[in-house]
Structure 1
């Protein structure tokens, strides 16, 4: 089963570290998984990088943008259980 959450992050980003911690905790609680992609890595579409670069970390749930900068655990939990 594919991961329902995608976290776009970048190296050295403290907000990314915080977002990852929240996502990992919620995923552990609900038995979900997540994928993390470095927005600056090769293979990321330039258009996507340009669109998301000022909002990193950016969280997608089920292919749709969910949050940026900060991840609210209650909001994420609701998105995954609704």
Structure 2
């Protein structure tokens, strides 16, 4: 299998005590595991900039710095977005 030209940077923005964040972790984990890519998580709890930007939309998924989904993560849409990103040249 050929190595993808570009591995997308997937970031899940969350906060403490957020039931939607738990669901989002599971969704992002399933999608990225299927595609063989990693992801990271950042919390708004101790980051004023993230809290100001995303407070009303948590959880949020960013792909390569672009907001792609919030509240309830659509796994099919995230999969399509990540597949397109994997096909892009680096």
Which residue does 2:58 correspond to in 1? 56
**Bigger radius of gyration among the two:** 2
Deviant stretches of 4+, over 6 Å: none
Which residue does 1:75 correspond to in 2? 77
Match of 1:27 among 32, 35, 38: 32
Distance in 1, Cα, partners of 2:37 & 2:82: 9
Structure 1 residue 11 displacement after superposition:
1.1
| Contact kept in structure 2, 1:5 and 1:62, CA below 8 Å | yes
The normalised TM-score by structure 2 is 0.80
Which residue does 1:38 correspond to in 2? 43
For structure 1, the 5+ residue unaligned runs are: none
Aligned residues: 79
The normalised TM-score by structure 1 is 0.88
Which residue does 2:49 correspond to in 1? 47
Distance in 2, Cα, partners of 1:38 & 1:68: 14
Distance in 1, Cα, partners of 2:7 & 2:35: 15
1:7 aligns with 2:9: no
